């Protein structure tokens, strides 16, 4: 699917990777999502903010196939109907999700965590005990460099700091070569330096793939410097730069406080 954008007098097409339209999800009469519409372009990073109960988690559940909407359209890459696919099929399409609490193989080394996650058609047991191919070694080295853990490759994942575990899980997702990465509150529990490094990491990732960041830390969102969507009661309340959204009276009233 493409979106028509006017640049000067000549209209151009920008590729829309993820397209949600009129998505509604009800749980026992409560509308967690209420006619939600959202589109994410290729290699775009978007920050999603909003008060608790705004629908942020349910939105990610719909995108990843964990929750089926009662109505609406959810398309990936213009042709794939996400509402008709299960979680495994959606992951295979290239949609990766990182939850707030990092999930890594605690007793394995950082390097082995990445190796186990490499996109390949094989079983995990022989993978750990077989010799790395030159291509695997190259990919692992590049990923460890990207996630700031090259000097920690032999450490057990359990020995890493909270922030480093977050980076490791992001690296494990990147090893699957996703086209879009959903990241839930990556700055939670991090030191100031880890938070700044995480913002840098996500900006680097967004050069080649789409990233959706759900976050409460407005300083972190400002550091990302991306378009912001504020949800409220399951719908889009405001959209634009952080400065624009923060100045919206409705956002101030329901989320930021006066």
Res 257: pLDDT = 65
Task: List the pLDDT tens digit at each of the 258 positions of the chain.
Answer: 554 443 344 444 458 999 999 999 999 889 999 999 999 999 999 999 999 999 999 999 999 999 999 999 999 998 899 999 999 999 999 999 998 888 899 999 999 999 999 866 455 445 555 666 788 889 999 999 999 999 999 999 999 999 999 999 999 999 999 999 999 999 888 999 999 999 999 999 999 999 999 999 999 999 999 999 999 999 999 999 999 999 999 999 988 765
Residue 158 lies in a domain: yes
Q: What is the token pair recorded at 171? A: 């690296």
Residue 203 lies in a domain: no
Q: What is the token pair recorded at 185? A: 């509150």
Res 13: pLDDT = 47
Res 131: pLDDT = 64
Binning the chain into helix, strand and coil, the percentages to the nearest 5 are: 40, 30, 30
Res 12: pLDDT = 40
Residue 136 lies in a domain: yes
| Contacts with 171 (C-beta within 8 Å, 6 or more apart), sequence order | 113, 114, 117, 143, 144, 146, 147, 149
Res 26: pLDDT = 95
Residue 91 lies in a domain: no
Question: Rounded distance, CA 46 to CA 152, Å?
Answer: 30
Residue 133 lies in a domain: yes
Residue 86 lies in a domain: no
Res 79: pLDDT = 87
If one counts the domains in the chain, the total is 1
Nearest CA among 60, 57, 73, 84 for reference residue 23: 73
Count the residues in the chain. 258
Res 103: pLDDT = 86
Give residue 136's domain range.
105-176
Res 15: pLDDT = 80
Q: Which residues share a beta bridge with 39?
A: 19
| Dihedral sign of CA atoms 228, 100, 37, 5 in order | positive
Res 7: pLDDT = 36
Residue 242 lies in a domain: no
How would DSSP label each residue in 161-224? -HHHHHHHHHHHHHTT--SEEEEE-TTTT--HHHHHHHHHHHHHHTTTSEEEEE---HHHHHHH
How would DSSP label each residue in 228-245? EEEEETTEEEEEE-HHHH
List, edge to edge, every strand of the sheet that includes 235-240: 95-98, 180-184, 210-214, 45-49, 227-232, 235-240
Report whether 200 contacts 186 (CB < 8 A): no
Residue 192 lies in a domain: no
Res 101: pLDDT = 81
């Amino acid at each position: 699917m493409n979106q028509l954008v006017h640049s000067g007098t000549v209209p151009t097409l920008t590729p829309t990777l993820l397209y949600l339209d009129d998505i509604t999800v009800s749980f026992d009469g409560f509308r967690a999502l209420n006619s939600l519409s959202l589109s994410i372009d290729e290699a775009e990073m978007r920050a999603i903010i909003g008060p608790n109960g705004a629908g942020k988690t349910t939105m990610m559940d719909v995108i990843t196939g964990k929750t089926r909407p009662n109505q609406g359209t959810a398309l990936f890459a213009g042709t794939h109907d996400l509402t008709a696919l299960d979680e495994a099929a959606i992951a295979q399409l290239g949609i990766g999700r990182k939850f707030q609490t990092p999930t890594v193989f605690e007793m394995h080394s950082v390097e082995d965590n990445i190796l186990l996650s490499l996109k390949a058609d094989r079983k995990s047991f022989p993978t750990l005990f077989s010799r790395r191919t030159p291509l695997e070694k190259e990919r692992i080295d590049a990923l460890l460099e990207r996630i700031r853990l090259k000097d920690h490759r032999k450490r057990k994942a359990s020995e890493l700091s909270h922030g480093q575990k977050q980076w490791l899980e992001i690296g494990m997702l990147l090893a699957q070569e996703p086209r879009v990465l959903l990241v839930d509150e990556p700055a939670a529990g991090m030191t100031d330096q880890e938070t700044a490094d995480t913002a840098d990491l996500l900006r680097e990732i967004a050069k080649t793939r789409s990233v959706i960041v759900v976050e409460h830390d407005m300083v972190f969102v400002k550091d990302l410097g991306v378009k912001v969507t504020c949800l409220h009661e399951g719908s889009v309340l405001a959209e634009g730069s952080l400065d624009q959204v923060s100045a919206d009276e409705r956002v101030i009233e329901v989320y930021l406080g006066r």
